[in-house]
Structure 1
């Protein structure tokens, strides 16, 4: 599990990223926002992952904020997947 941080409305919030190799999913949780999601990374490209995250975040954030957060999360996921290619 990786723990990352980003700034949300002048506060630093923790983002938890857990990659389950067995079922090929990444769980993303942001407890301060009471939000989490599981993403099937094996069948989705990074742009599809980002689009899914925007849709999930857009349920309680405005479009610009959802897009900003999803972009950052997607960047971290892409970096993690790239680093772990065997």
Structure 2
């Protein structure tokens, strides 16, 4: 599991990213937003970002959702 810091709306938060290889899923959670999402591990970066933005947009504005999604994507694909 990766635990990384993200910043949005001048708030520092944690994002938790768990890679479940057996089920081919990422479980992504941001407890401060009471938000989590399971997404298919085979999605490319663009599709993954779109999926994250769609689900975050139900809680926050589109600009913040895009920023957070970009941060999450960066953290998923970092070494």
Q: Same fold (TM over 0.5)?
A: yes
SS at match of 2:77: helix
Determine helix, strand or coil for the equivalent of 1:7. strand
Shift in Å, 1:8: 2.6
State how far apart, in whole Å, the 2-side matches of 1:69 and 1:11 are.
12
CA distance in 2: counterparts of 1:67 and 1:8, whole angstroms: 10
Residue-pair matches, total: 79
2:52 alignment counterpart: 53
- Corresponding residue for 1:3? 3
**Is contact 2:17–2:29 with CA below 8 Å preserved after alignment?**
yes
Q: CA deviation at 1:12?
A: 1.5
Matched residue, 1:72 = 71
Aligned to 2:16: 16
Please identify the structure whose Cα radius of gyration is greater: 1
2:8–2:64 CA contact under 8 A, matched in 1? no
Give TM-score, length-normalised by structure 2.
0.92
5+ unaligned residues in a row in structure 2: which ranges?
none
Show structure 1 runs of 4+ deviating over 2 A. Answer: 8-11
Gaps of 5+ in 1: none
Quick one: higher RCO (CA 8 Å, sep 6+), 1 or 2?
2
Aligned CA RMSD, in angstroms, stands at 1.1
